[in-house]
Amino acid sequence: MRSLLFVPGDSERKLEKSLGTGADALIVDLEDSVVPSAKAAARETTAAFFAGLGDRGALPPLYIRINDLTSGFTEADLDAVVPLAPQGLMLPKVRGGGDVATVAELVDGRERAAGLAPGSVSLLAIATETPQAVLRMASFEGASPRLKGLAWGGEDLATAVGASTNRDDTGAYTPPMQLARNLCLIAAAAADVQAVDNVFTDFRDPEGLEREAREAARDGFTGKMAIHPNQVETINAVFTPTEADVAHAQEVVAAFEAAPEAGVVSVDGRMLDRPHLAMAERTLARARLAGLIPASR
- The region of 25-33, 79-87, 136-144, 282-290 touching ligand COA under the rule CB under 6 A is 25-33
Residue 97 binding partner per list ligand COA, Mg ion, none, with a CB distance cut-off of 5 to 8 Å that depends on partner kind: none
Please report whether residue 141 would count as binding Mg ion according to CB under 5 A: no
Q: How far apart are CA 228 and CA 239, in angstroms?
A: 17
Please report whether residue 71 would count as binding Mg ion according to CB under 5 A: no
Residue 241 binding partner per list Mg ion, ligand COA, none, with a CB distance cut-off of 5 to 8 Å that depends on partner kind: none
The single-letter code of the amino acid at 35 is V
Residue closest to ligand COA (Cβ): 6
Cβ closer to ligand COA: 29 or 111?
29
Please report whether residue 63 would count as binding ligand COA according to CB under 6 A: no
Report in angstroms how near the CB of residue 29 gets to ligand COA at its nearest.
4
Q: 280 to each of 47, 114, 284, how far by Cα in Å?
A: 41, 41, 6
Please report whether residue 229 would count as binding ligand COA according to CB under 6 A: yes
First to last CA, the chain: 20
3-state secondary structure 127-175: CCCCHHHHHCHHHHCCCCCCEEEEECCCHHHHHHHCCCCCECCCCCECH
Report in angstroms how near the CB of residue 5 gets to ligand COA at its nearest.
6
Rg (CA), the chain: 20
Report in angstroms how near the CB of residue 83 gets to Mg ion at its nearest.
25
Residue 80 binding partner per list Mg ion, ligand COA, none, with a CB distance cut-off of 5 to 8 Å that depends on partner kind: none
Please report whether residue 32 would count as binding Mg ion according to CB under 5 A: yes
Q: How far apart are CA 283 and CA 278, in angstroms?
A: 9
Q: How far apart are CA 66 and CA 105, in angstroms?
A: 15
Which residues 191-220 are close enough to bind ligand COA by CB under 6 A? 199
Report in angstroms how near the CB of residue 202 gets to ligand COA at its nearest.
10
Report in angstroms how near the CB of residue 200 gets to ligand COA at its nearest.
10
* Interaction mask 28-47, ligand COA, x per CB under 6 A: -x--xx--------------
Please report whether residue 288 would count as binding ligand COA according to CB under 6 A: no
Taking alpha carbons only, the member of 51, 56, 71, 54 closest to residue 26 is 56
Cite the DSSP H helix spans in the chain. Answer: 12-18, 39-51, 74-81, 97-113, 131-135, 155-161, 175-191, 206-219, 232-238, 243-258, 274-289
Taking alpha carbons only, the member of 28, 25, 90 closest to residue 59 is 25
Q: Are 146 and 123 in contact (CB under 8 A)?
A: yes
Report in angstroms how near the CB of residue 146 gets to ligand COA at its nearest.
21
Which residues 5-24 are close enough to bind ligand COA by CB under 6 A? 5-8, 13-14, 17-18
Q: How far apart are CA 208 and CA 185, in angstroms?
A: 21
- What does the binding site for ligand COA look like in residue numbers (CB under 6 A)? 5-8, 13-14, 17-18, 29, 32-33, 199, 227-229
- What does the binding site for Mg ion look like in residue numbers (CB under 5 A)? 32
